[in-house]
A and B are shown apart, each in its own frame.
Chain A
Amino acid sequence: MFGGQDSKQHTVQPYVTGTSVIGLKCADGVVLGADTLVSYGSLAKNRKTSRLMTVSNHCSLGFSGEYSDFQEIKSTLEELMISEYCMADNIPMQPRAIHQYLARVMYEARNKQDPLYNQLVIGGVLPATGEGYLGLVDLLGTNYESEMIATGYGTYIALPLLRKAYRPDITVAEGRKVIEDCLRVLYYRDARSIDTVQISTVTKEGAETTEPFKLETSWDFKKFKAGSRLIDESTW
């Protein structure tokens, strides 16, 4: 099956990968965050690659997992948005529709035993009401909506923080700070992360992704300095 002369090669494991993406739904929109590193195993292959993309005026997308598969997804999405534009009927594609479309793409790929090795986080607003939308799709086609989403190590490190910070009336401005904090914590503990990050905000006014910027970090915490030893109560 693998490498035979007349057999087709499928991705069975990711090579060039991005780590966590996180997202938080807010009262007036959505915030997504990701760092800008793509790794090749333990090698920091590229330190300034955008892992967030703006899909439309009402929708942004972030990925973790295989970079090449994401580029494939990106171009199919761009194709979709161009054909939408060509309909010229002023019907904005809803974030939910984009989310479900991607879920079909990912699920069909897994059905062919040829998965797109990614987790995708879709953030958007409903054009009519300005209400936020946040969803996830993974390489198996798993898809759900949630108030807070994190992939990769973010599931363990950022998700509890997001759950704690979440309020139904949290604003995008507040959410942005929460996301930045989560990215900082991830940078402290995820060895495949970097302190250069991007944040994407989607509100009624539009979708905006920042240029990559450096996180302010502090390494003066007592336990960071002391390090962890057997006698320590905990590594934290």
Chain B
Amino acid sequence: MMDFGTPVLEPGSANGTKQVPQFNPYQDNGGTVASIAGDDYVIVAADTRFTLGYSIPTRKISRVLKINDKVMLGTAGMQADTCALHKVISTRMRMYEHDNNKRMTFNAVSQMLSTVLYYKRFFPYYTFNIVAGLDDKGEGWVCGYDAIGSFEQRKIVCNGAGTKLMQPVFDNQVDWAQSWDGAGKPNLSLEQATDLMKDAFTSAAEREITVGDTLQIYKITKDGIQLEEFELKKD
């Protein structure tokens, strides 16, 4: 059904009696993106469910943008803003490649995204991003962002609708946050990380209705990018 927006009180109207519907330019289309980085790999995962309120208009949209063979961007939040952001990032990436005659590094992409997001500080993109990639030495890293561009580089990040359910699991299983000195912290292999990612999304899909349908897992290694699709629950 058409969303008419929430009627709000017009600020200037006398004693707030005049009700005027206002256009709400934002919409939450759900989606979760997550990434686990290892010594020589990084995986980026995103579900493909597109929600609008309680409806699922389509079950297959992509939330991930391939920047180059070593870096990817994942975006949750509003789909229209995601598209626009991905267009801006692709264009600026192309300009960078023309100007500098080389690919953008992971660091360059992560800084650029922050700049692009903050540029719209007062009319932000309603998007929650992660940038994952291999650095110059081939080590995996991931940056997590808020909607207006503040970011942090880490080994594990998730962003979007399922964050509240998944982040604690990752803190525990990857970061070993329960241990003060990190004793016994595991060094996950690519396969272990992939399995953990599947479990995390499967669990999130149990309780968070905007997570589901298909999980796309992109595995970035020195040999390039591989896509694995994993089916989540569809209801």
Residues on A lying within 8 angstroms of B by beta carbon are 1-2, 10-14, 17, 64-65, 103, 107, 110-111, 113, 115, 117, 119, 136, 140-144, 146, 149-150, 152-153, 155-156, 159
Contact = CB atoms under 8 A, between A and B. Distances in A.
Interface string B1-37: 1101100001000000000111101110100000000
Contact of B23 (A12, A142, A153, A156): A12
- A-B pairs, 10 with minimum CB distance: A141-B80, A146-B58, A142-B80, A140-B80, A12-B23, A142-B79, A13-B21, A144-B61, A110-B25, A155-B55
B22 A111 contact: no
A67 B23 CA distance: 18
Contacts of A143: 79-80, 83
Contacts of A17: 2
Contacts, number: 72
Contacts of A10: 23
Question: What range describes how many residues of B lie at the interface?
Answer: 20 to 34
Given A136-B57, A140-B27, A111 B20 contact: no
Contact of B58 (A12, A115, A140, A144): A144
A11 B1 CA distance: 18
B84 interface: yes
Contact of B20 (A12, A119, A152): A12
A159 B57 contact: yes
Contacts of B121: none
Contacts of B4: 13-14
A111 B78 CA distance: 14
Interface string B49-60: 010100101101
A143 B50 CA distance: 11
Contacts of B122: none
B60 A146 contact: yes
A14 B23 CA distance: 11
B173 to A, nearest CB: 33
Contact of A155 (B1, B21, B23, B83): B1
Contacts of B61: 144
Contacts of B57: 136, 144, 146, 149-150, 155, 159
A113 B25 contact: yes
Contacts of B55: 155-156
Given A12-B22, A140-B27, A146-B58, A110 B1 contact: no
